Amino acid sequence: MTLPKGFGQQPKNVGKRSFNEWWATVPDDLKTKSRKGDEQNKPLLNQVNYVLLHLHLAGKHDAKPSHEELKDWLHSGQVDVLRMTKK
């Protein structure tokens, strides 16, 4: 059985990073493209997904966060799923 490229490359013993710790490792061009004009707000899952896709396509699998980190960011409120506006 052949696993997909990059599957299982994240060591299981790596501690969970906060979103900001991971974000500091993201290339500046991806940060700018994904968050331009929205920097004052909490990051959105769509913005994180944009960065993840580009890291994946560039073959930088070790730069992607683990499933546990992503889950923690969502559950702890470090990243919003969608932006709520007051009516």
Q: CB 83: neighbour CB atoms within 10 A?
A: 10
What end-to-end distance do the CA atoms of the chain give, in Å? 53
**Alpha carbon distances (Å) from 73 to 21, 56, 66:** 11, 19, 11
Under the banding of pLDDT at 50, 70 and 90, the label for residue 15 is confident
Average pLDDT for 73-82? 93
Cα separation, 26 vs 63, in Å, equals: 8
| pTM assigned to the model | 0.74
Cα separation, 55 vs 59, in Å, equals: 6
